[in-house]
Structures are given as C-alpha cells and as structure tokens.
Structure 1
Amino acid sequence: MILTLTELQDRNVDDSLVLEPELKRLLDKYIDDYSDDFVQDMSHISQAANYAGNIAVDAIVHLKDNLYRCDYSYDWAIAWTCSGTQEAGRVKEKVRFTVETDGELHFKFLKLDA
C-alpha cells in the first residue's frame, strides 16, 4: 500500500529524530481513512471477531535509512447472538514502511496465505 503525505513533500526525510513525531502525527490523522488496509486478519482471536474502530498510531520507530516501523492498535468485538453476550479487546499490530522524498510512504504488510 502506498500513502502519499503531501505535508512531507520537499522535506528533509533524512532526520529521523524530527521525522518520527511528524510521521506519528500525520499517520494518526489519516490512519482511520486506511483502516481497511491496516486492520489485519483476526482469525487468531476468532472467526467471529470484527473490527470495532478506534484505530490509532501508538509509535513510529526509525529502523535504518528510510525504513520505519508503525506500531498501531485497534478494537475488536464479537457479538455472540445466540447467548446475547459480547466480547471485546484491543489488537496491537506493527508494519514496516519506507519514506520517500516525494512524501510517499510504502507499507509492507505481512499477508499470510490461507
């Protein structure tokens, strides 16, 4: 997935100490618009688990060069209609991405084959 942040165009992307908080702020601002890409398979919780919102960027970590890691989390819920009960929790995920000088962020989501 590619996300273009016009706010980063023509910026020095080499200074990770300055870029980390800026990336966190910008990704937190836009992540809800891309929740379909960020929300991963929840079958490890249950086949009935569904995304329940509240996606947020927890941290941005500089790894090396223009490679970063985004730590994020979101809520899940299961409505057991037969028993009238509900379960809920929060998932924590990580994704690596690169920052290009044109403001493009290239995310590398791990996709498991079924």
Structure 2
Amino acid sequence: MRIEGFDSSTQHGSQWNRKLTQFLVKNKDSFEGDLIPDLDFINHRAENHTGIDIGAVEHQTINEYVLSYSVDWDIYNGCADMEENGTIQVTIPFTVEHDGEIKFDYSIVESRSTVEEF
C-alpha cells in the first residue's frame, strides 16, 4: 500500500500524522484483516465481525509511526443462549518507506503458540 507525497527528501514527523490517519481510514479495507489479532487470549470462540476502528497515527522516530486502533469481539454460547462482547485496544508500528510504501510490523498481531511460553 502506497501513499502519495513521500519521496527520498520527505521530512518525516508529526505533521504527517493526520494525513496518514486519513489515508489508512480511507484504505482500511485493503489491510484491516491482517491487523485483527488472534483473539484466543480472550476465549477460543472469540470472533471479530466488524473489522477495526482506526484511532490515530503517531510519529515515533525518523520514518517510524504507530497506529492505534480498536477491535470489537464477540463470543456466542448457543447452549446457554448467552453472548459476551468487548473491545480491545491495539497499537502496531509501521514504517513509511521513501517511495510512500507503508509496511506494518505484523509480529504484533501474529498468532501465538505454546512454544513461545517455554
């Protein structure tokens, strides 16, 4: 995914926060599925049906930014006719390359396994 207006002479900084947020909101259909984390830590039946809700972008350093967003989750227990739901807040770092290419650090939302616990 590429945003216009960046090149090798671009001065990164907080002045880009709003433009990046607007760009990500407008184009979220193309990447939001990749940003929904594994919800097993809530419950193995937890699911997201609504995608993500983008909060804001904050400049960190040089060409690095952080996206804050929320994810709604639902658990339906049909046997008990009960439903639980909630929202989690997530932040994910990303970089904007000199050509405007946005690269998320997906390690934040990748599935966890029991191997990581050992």
TM-score by length of 2: 0.82
CA drift at 1:28: 1.4
* Distance change in 2, residues 1:32/1:11 (3 Å): farther
1:21 pairs with 2:18: yes
2:41 maps to which of 31, 41, 44: 44
Gaps of 5+ in 2: 114-118
CA distance in 2, matches of 1:11, 1:72: 28
* Residue equivalent to 1:107: 104
Q: What secondary structure, in the 3-state scheme, does the structure 1 residue paired with 2:75 have?
A: strand
- Identical positions, percent: 28
TM-score by length of 1: 0.85
- 1 or 2, which has the higher strand percentage? 1
* Residue equivalent to 1:92: 89
Output the amino acid matched with 1:30.
N
Q: What secondary structure, in the 3-state scheme, does the structure 2 residue paired with 1:61 have?
A: strand
Contact persistence 1:13–1:100 (CA under 8 A): no
CA drift at 1:15: 3.9
CA distance in 1, matches of 2:85, 2:96: 34
Contact persistence 1:60–1:70 (CA under 8 A): yes
Q: How many matched pairs? A: 111
What is the RMSD computed on CA atoms of the aligned residues?
1.9
